[in-house]
Every structure is written in structure tokens, then in C-alpha cells.
Structure 1
Amino acid sequence: MNDGWIRYLPGFVRKRLEGRHVLLEAIGNTGWLFADRLLRMGVGLIVGVWIARYLGPSQYGILNYAASFVTLFSAIALLGLEAIIVRDLVRYPEREREILGTTFFLRFVAGIVSYFIAVAAIFVIRPDDRLTHLMVGIIGWVLIFGSFDTIDLWFQSQVRSKYVVYAKNAGFLIAAGLRVAFIVVKAPIIAFAVANAAEIGLGAVGLLMVYRRSGQRISRWKNSFPLARRLFTESWPLLLSGIVFMVYLRIDQVLLGQLANDREVGIYAAAVRVAELWFFIPTAIVSSVFPNIVRTKENDENEFYARLQKLYNLLAFIGYAIAIPGSLLAGLIIKLLFGAPYAAATPMLVLLLWSDIFAILAVARNAYLLAMNWSWVLWLMVLAGAVSNVLLNYMLIPHYGGVGAAVASLVSYWIAAHGACYFYKPLRRTANMLTRALIYPRFW
């Protein structure tokens, strides 16, 4: 591994890092993930705001409704295989081609199935809305293109995220350029649906290119039906968790479109875009440091929980550091970014920023559950959040619109991440640890 970048750090930091290759590898991997998200955050925000201003709340709502609707079916296309495949690639490198080939086959078939389910469902839910039918039909192609993310799993197993960053950001930047061009030529809303699908398709091409440059070939992959059966047997609890998770992550915008109107979806989507800007931070931190935390469990369980508490403390600190100033500046942020037509998004943004604290903590809590092989417990936690989210949305949206949807998100995120842990005895220790983090968050 190339650790040359540490020479640019201050001397006292450099001395503590020199020779600690596992830590340096985690920091380097996290750095690439951060660079990826920072680029997407910056460019995505600028272009996204431009699109929102160009389309206006109603058409922007249609675009986000269609994208959220497709996202509901993405868990079916993914099959819950991510963590399992990365684990198996690390454990059984000699079976790499078989694992990758089987995973791609399963995901490709699942992508096609989920695409047709999504298209059929939108015809049932909105039988007379031809525009939304077309939007879902176009954006839905991301479900099939996503099968090429199998290559991403291989790079994750090698802790070489920078190559995935190269590939996916190339597609992202080209698609961002397309979106800007569509705004300049005053293209119709359908063009932006095409750009959504094109971004994932271009990312797939980029993954194929960097995989080939790494000396690998997908032509060497092979499919194994016995392995497919084993993977599906192991992954079905995670598949169910993924389906439920996507429901409680995106059902708010879908129900807003059904129970309110597309304009309310557009205003709410503006608040969501700002609130989700920072979510890459906990994801990048947990994905890079949690494997090392898990390793300590084999030798010292007390140290394992001590490090886990520090992770919870850090994530809670980050959540508050975003929510408090964000709440104070919410009105100004919405006005500067989206303009007067989106002013009603201000209270929605405040509520969503506070719900982010629980969503951030859930990233680490979920990783802990998977490390303990409690995937079915994770499913129950997410199910509790999803059920409460749907029920609260049905109760609140007809009376309060997008603000009601934001309240539903805040309460359901707390239930899924924290509150539900108290109802399962083995998780009460985790619940208490999360409570300590919320009461006394720390950066160190």
C-alpha cells in the first residue's frame, strides 16, 4: 500500500500513524469515500438546485415522486447480498470468479423482475397519469444497470475504493453535464428522467473499465446454481430488511404524492436534498473503521464495546453539529438555494435535520447487528420504523402535508434506531449506549 500521503501531515500526527498499515488503509479508504461524496454533494447540490428552480415545485415533485417510487423496488434488485459477498470474497479468494459471476446473475435477473414490478405497480396506483408512467419506465432502468455494482463489491473486498470513485464519478459528472445542457435548451421533464438512468448506466461502463484495468475480466466469471441457492438462503433476511428499509426511507415522498399533491412532493424533496447532504459522513466512517472494531471482539470484548461506544459518541456529535446550526439557518438556506417558491420547505428541513441524528446512529447500530449475526433483529428494528412511518404518514399528511411527513420521519427514525432497542432484552445494552451518546456526544 502507498502511505506516501502521510508525509503531508503534521509531525506529531505522522509519528502516531507511521507503520500502522491497517489504520492507514482504513483512513485512506475513508478519504476516497469522502472525496466521492464531497464531489457528489457539491456538484449534485448545485445542479439539483438548478433543476428545482427550472422545473418549479410541481414538476420537480413529479421527478422526485418517480425516482422515489423506483427506489422502493431497489432492494429487490440488490437482494441484500452486499455484506455477504464482500465477506465471502475476503474469506474465499480462490472462489472469486464463481462468487462474482453468481452474484451478477442473481442481481441481473432480480433487476429485470423488479423493473417490471415497478412499472406494473405505477399503472395500478396512478392508472391515468401517463407522464408518471413514462418517468418510472425510464428511471426504472437503474434497477437493471445496478447489477454491475457487483464489480464495486470486489473493489470493497480489496479495500480499493478509489477505483470505484473514478468510475462512478465519471458517469456522475457526464450526467450532471447532461442535466445542465437540458436546462439550457429548456428540455421537458422527461429529459431529466433520462439523465437519472444515464448516470447509473455510465457508472456501470466506468466500473467495467476500471475492473479491466485492474487485470480482471468479467468474461472469466462463472455462475454456480448451488452457490446461488446458498447465497439466497443467507440473504433473504437482509433482502426483507432492505425492502422494509427502502419503504421507510422513501415512502414519505410516495405517500405525499398520493395523499397530497406533486407540488407538496417538490417542496418536501427540496428539504430532503439539503438534509441528506451530510449522510455520507457516518457511512464513510463506519464502513472504514467498523471492521477493525469487530476484530477486537475476538480478543477483548470489553475493548470492543468501549470502541463501539466511542463510535456512537462521535456519530451523535456529528449529528448535533449538523442539526443545531442547520436548524437556525434553515430559512436562509432554503431561500438562497431554492428561492421563494420553496419557502414552505423550511420547517420540513428543521425536522429532517433532527431525524438525521437517529439515522446517523442507525448506521453504526446496524453494522453492530450484522457483526453479531443478528440480521433478523435488524429486520425487526427496520420493520418497526417502517410500520410507524407509514401509519404516521397516513395520519399526518392529509392535515399537515410535507410537515406531517417530516414529523413521521423524525419519530420513525427514532423508533428504528433507538426506541425499539429497549423492547428486545439483548439490545438494551445497545439502547443504553445510544442514550449515553445522545446525552453526552463527544468528538474524541
Structure 2
Amino acid sequence: MQLRSLIQLTASVGAIGLLDRVVAVGLGIIFARWLGPDEFGTYAFVVTAIALLCIPAKLGIPELLTRDIAAARGGAEPLALAGSIVKGFAIVGIAAIAIVAVGQLVLQFTADTPISRLMRIGLWMVIPSAFFEVAAGIIRGFGRTIAFQLYGSVLLSGATLGIGASAMILLDQYTARIAIETRFAAFTLLLMTCCVHLILILRRLSSADGGRILGTGEILSTGSRFMFNSVINMALMRVDLLVLGILATEKAVGLYRVAAEGGLLVAFGYTAVTTVLTPEYARMHKAGDREQLQKTVRHATWLILLIGGLIALPLIFGSHLVIGLVFGESYTPASFALSIIAAGYLVSFLFGDPIYILNMTGHHDRVTLLVAISLVVSLVLCLVLIPSLGGTGAAIAASVALICYRYLACRAVYRWLGVNCAVFGGMVSFGKARGGRA
């Protein structure tokens, strides 16, 4: 992909992402203020747990279909799109229902707490959420990058905010339960919209029914590897909050969730660039164009670092002021954690976008090993630091693990693809690339 095209698409996706961040931060502000630290902490814990449960429900099929549909666009082997998509949805539906059933059974034997009561409701969100992810992943594979970004970001956040705020005002109830129920409604609404769009895309494609249908065994085998990769990756991203919820109070979780939400602003540029390029990595790799892949990766790295730096620096040095103005003085104890998280993201951007490159070029199994190593690092640091430092310790653990993860993945990209995605390029050697390229 040429630099001009990358910048244009990134700007479009970035504009959507910026709007999403505004809506998402607005959602966080309203829910945090209306629910209070305790209720907001319960809500945050349940949302995180449901997100983890959605990963085995999806079985890695969204990532698999994104990759294979994008690869079919750049290769000679046709893919029977309609048949493969229907089969993917059927498998995900069976998995999602099974997870909800098992989860409800397990909750019958757990202690009656605010979190367990809310989990009984939140578990049902697994079904529309898993289907929504599959539909969005298919649209992404077709190259509808802007539509994918709209569905997965601003429309979802906007629907959650609009439905949630309206329900709370109309019912005059400001509880975590209302927040969870309205999030379920938002997922269902977006799923129906996304499916209508997908049907329209398939109707316009004359080749939708021609070619090879993905086999059930192939879907389960390859998808399960994507799934396991996603499970431990999500665990890496959320283990800090989960351990904090176990070792600390709901209030500590609510404060830390505010810091984590603020930290996600730093990843705005990273999300925009990777949204544009993820299917392109698969297409360029399938076409064997390593020179263009290297050029595209280098452009992406600098864009990620530039945008990330512009957002990170104010959060690193002015976190107390930002949180006080946006969320209120009761959340300012989370300011130091926000500074640490923002700094961790910025350092990790020095290594570019290695994760998606590995996933889209057939090296997703190597990602699994790398994220497992980083997860162990994060878990150990959480267990050591959280008892004494609380949210600050969780932020340190998460940042160190993220930097470790991106560095190891950057080395793997260079070794197996001969592509250097680090911002320092030739200044630092990662050793010999496979095939003797240094």
C-alpha cells in the first residue's frame, strides 16, 4: 500500500476512531459519575469477564475469515464465501450457547455477591457479541475498513451510551445492572445492522458461491489456534484488572478502569493504522511482495509513533488535571496509574505493529508463545505489586508486559519474514533473519 493511500485511509479510520474515543470517554464519564466507584467497578469487572468469555465462543473464526477472505482477494484460489460464512456462524452459535449454559450452571454454586448476580445477566451478552464479531470480521476481510471501524467502535459506543443513558433517566435507576442490560441491547442492535450490510455485500459478489468451502475441521483447527492466541492476548490485556478485582476492592477496580480507559486514548493511532493494514498484510504476503510489505510496515510504524506521542505526552505529564476535569476529583487517585499506562503504550510503539503482521502471515502460533510469556510476566508482577501498590502496581505490570510482548513479536517478524517493523530500523539488529537476511 502506498504511503498516500495509507495516510488517507488512516485519516478516515482515525477520524472515526477519534469520534469513537469521544463517545467512549463520554460513556465512561457518564457511567462513572452516575454509578459511582463501587457500582462502576462491578460493571467494569463484569464487562471484562464477558469479553474474556466471548473469545472461546468466537473460536478464532472472525480472525480466520478476515485472513482467508482477504487472502482470496490477493491470490488465485477462490473461496466459496456464502458457504464458508454460514458454516462459521453455525459453529460460533453452538459454542456461544454452550458457554452461556455452562456459565449459568457454575454461577449457581458461587457465592451471592453483586458481581455474581450481575454475571448471571451479563452472560447472555456472549451470544450477540460473538455473532457481531464474526459479522464485523467478514466485512473487514472484504476490505470494507471504514465500515468495520464504524461498527466496532463509534456505533457500538454510541448505541451503548444512547440506550444506557436514556434507560437510566427514564427509569431513574443508576445501577450496574441497567448498564449491562443496555450494553446487551446495543450489541443486538449492531448485530442486526451488520448482518444486513453483509447480506448486501454478498449479493453484489457474483463469486460468492463459487470455489472451495472451508471445511469444518479446517475452521476448528486453524480457528482454535487463533482463539487460543486471542484468549491469552485478552488475558494479557485484562489480567491487571482481574487480579486487582480479586486482591483489592470494587472501588480500586473502578479507579483503575478510569486510568485504563484514558490509556486507550494513546492507542488511538495504533488502532487506526492496524485497522487499515491488517487485511493488507495478508494480501501482500500471499502475493509474495516482501519489499512492499517492508515499505508499508515502516510507514505504519512512524504513523503509529507520531500519533501516539501527540496523545501520550499530555497524559503522562498532566494526568491529574485531565482526570480531575473529566471524571471528577473522586477519581484523581487514578492519575499516576494513567501516566504509567500512557508511557507504557508509547514505548511499545517503538516496535511498530508486529502482532497483526504475524497473525495475517500464517505465524499466529508464534504469537501464542510470545503472548504466553508476556502473560506470565504480567501475572507475576501483578501478584507482587498490587498488594502494596494497588492500581499503580497493576499499571506497572501491564506496561512492562506490553513492552515485552511487542519487543518479542518484533524480533519474530524479523526472523521469520525478514521484515523490520521497529522504528529504529537498521540501528538495532535483531540477529539473522530466516534465510540469511541480516
Q: Same fold (TM over 0.5)?
A: yes
2:431 counterpart residue number: none
CA contact (8 A) 1:396 1:404 kept: yes
Return the alpha-carbon distance in structure 1 between the equivalents of residues 375 and 333 of structure 2: 26
Return the alpha-carbon distance in structure 2 between the equivalents of residues 122 and 438 of structure 1: 54
1:102-136 per-residue CA deviation (whole Å, 9 max, x = no partner) reads 11011112222333444456666xx3243212322
Return the alpha-carbon distance in structure 2 between the equivalents of residues 225 and 137 of structure 1: 37
Shift of the alpha carbon at 1:56? Answer: 1.4
Shift of the alpha carbon at 1:284? Answer: 2.3
> SS of the counterpart of 1:434?
coil
2:294 counterpart residue number: 305
> SS of the counterpart of 2:80?
helix
What is the letter of the counterpart of residue 117 of structure 2?
L
Return the alpha-carbon distance in structure 2 between the equivalents of residues 144 and 361 of structure 1: 37
2:261 to 267, 273, 277: 273
1:102 counterpart residue number: 87
Q: Percent of aligned pairs with the same residue?
A: 21
Moved more, 373-382 or 82-91: 82-91
Question: Does 2:324 align with 1:335?
Answer: yes
Return the alpha-carbon distance in structure 2 between the equivalents of residues 162 and 310 of structure 1: 20
What is the letter of the counterpart of residue 103 of structure 1?
G
Normalising by structure 2, report the TM-score: 0.83
Moved more, 196-205 or 398-407: 196-205
Moved more, 38-47 or 278-287: 278-287
> SS of the counterpart of 1:72?
helix
2:133 counterpart residue number: 149
Return the alpha-carbon distance in structure 2 between the equivalents of residues 63 and 368 of structure 1: 34
Return the alpha-carbon distance in structure 2 between the equivalents of residues 320 and 437 of structure 1: 18
> SS of the counterpart of 1:159?
coil
1:138 counterpart residue number: 121
What is the letter of the counterpart of residue 179 of structure 2?
F
CA contact (8 A) 1:167 1:207 kept: yes
Question: Does 2:102 align with 1:113?
Answer: no
CA contact (8 A) 1:89 1:99 kept: no
2:197 to 203, 210, 227: 210
What is the letter of the counterpart of residue 93 of structure 2?
F
2:238 counterpart residue number: 250
1:64-97 per-residue CA deviation (whole Å, 9 max, x = no partner) reads 0111111222211221223321233342655111
Question: Does 2:58 align with 1:65?
Answer: no
Normalising by structure 1, report the TM-score: 0.82
Return the alpha-carbon distance in structure 2 between the equivalents of residues 118 and 428 of structure 1: 41
1:384 counterpart residue number: 373
> SS of the counterpart of 2:424?
helix
Return the alpha-carbon distance in structure 1 between the equivalents of residues 196 and 412 of structure 2: 48
CA contact (8 A) 2:337 2:391 kept: yes
Return the alpha-carbon distance in structure 1 between the equivalents of residues 412 and 10 of structure 2: 34
> SS of the counterpart of 1:373?
coil
1:8 counterpart residue number: none
* Pairs within 5 Å for 1:178-193: 178-184=163-169, 185-193=172-180
Change beyond 3 A, Cα 1:353–1:144: same
1:204-254 per-residue CA deviation (whole Å, 9 max, x = no partner) reads 12113333455749xx99xx9971211111222211111101111112111
Question: Does 2:220 align with 1:232?
Answer: yes
What is the letter of the counterpart of residue 338 of structure 1?
F
1:168-211 per-residue CA deviation (whole Å, 9 max, x = no partner) reads 65554343122222443233321111012111111112113333
> SS of the counterpart of 1:344?
helix
Return the alpha-carbon distance in structure 1 between the equivalents of residues 124 and 352 of structure 2: 28
Return the alpha-carbon distance in structure 2 between the equivalents of residues 335 and 97 of structure 1: 51
1:148-173 per-residue CA deviation (whole Å, 9 max, x = no partner) reads 43332332233224445666655543
CA contact (8 A) 2:35 2:174 kept: no
What is the letter of the counterpart of residue 134 of structure 1?
R
Moved more, 151-160 or 399-408: 151-160
Moved more, 33-42 or 257-266: 33-42
What is the letter of the counterpart of residue 286 of structure 1?
T
The number of residue pairs the alignment matches comes to 414
Gaps of 5+ in 2: 429-438
What is the letter of the counterpart of residue 241 of structure 1?
N
Return the alpha-carbon distance in structure 2 between the equivalents of residues 292 and 103 of structure 1: 22
What is the letter of the counterpart of residue 378 of structure 2?
N
What is the letter of the counterpart of residue 124 of structure 2?
W
> SS of the counterpart of 1:284?
helix
CA contact (8 A) 1:102 1:228 kept: yes
